[in-house]
């Protein structure tokens, strides 16, 4: 399996993981507790997804990447 194929597989797994976490939100009567539980549950999944996308951005040619790359977003004025 090529590196890009492996990363695409990882990307799909991370998307599924994040979707699952979003579909099963933290529930609590206390809004602050609920927010903390959500942050604890969602942020790690988001960071894992971001790591894969960041690596893919460095490997996929610009003409095949349909959205702005992170480095391009940082330089938009």
Q: What's the fold here for domain 3-74?
A: 1.20.120
Give pLDDT, residue 77: 63
Structural domain spans, the chain? 3-74
The answer for residues whose C-beta is within 8 angstroms of residue 55's C-beta and 6 or more apart is 7
Residues 52 and 10 sit within 8 Å (Cβ to Cβ): yes
Give the C-alpha separation, 58 to 39, whole Å.
Answer: 28
What is the model's pTM?
0.80
What whole-number percentage of the chain has pLDDT above 90?
58
> DSSP assignment of the chain, as one string?
--HHHHHHHHHHHHHHHHHHHHHS----SSHHHHHHHHHHHHHHHHHHHHHHHHHHHHHS-GGG--S--HHHHHT--
pLDDT tens digits, one per residue of 36-72: 988 899 999 999 999 999 999 999 998 998 888 887 8
């Amino acid at each position: 399996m090529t590196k890009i194929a492996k990363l695409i597989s990882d990307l799909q797994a991370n998307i599924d993981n994040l979707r699952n976490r979003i579909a099963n939100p933290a529930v609590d009567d206390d809004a602050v507790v609920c927010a903390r539980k959500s942050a604890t549950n969602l942020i790690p999944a988001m960071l894992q997804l971001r790591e894969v996308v960041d690596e893919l951005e460095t490997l996929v040619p610009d003409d095949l990447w349909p959205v702005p790359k992170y480095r391009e977003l940082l330089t938009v004025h």
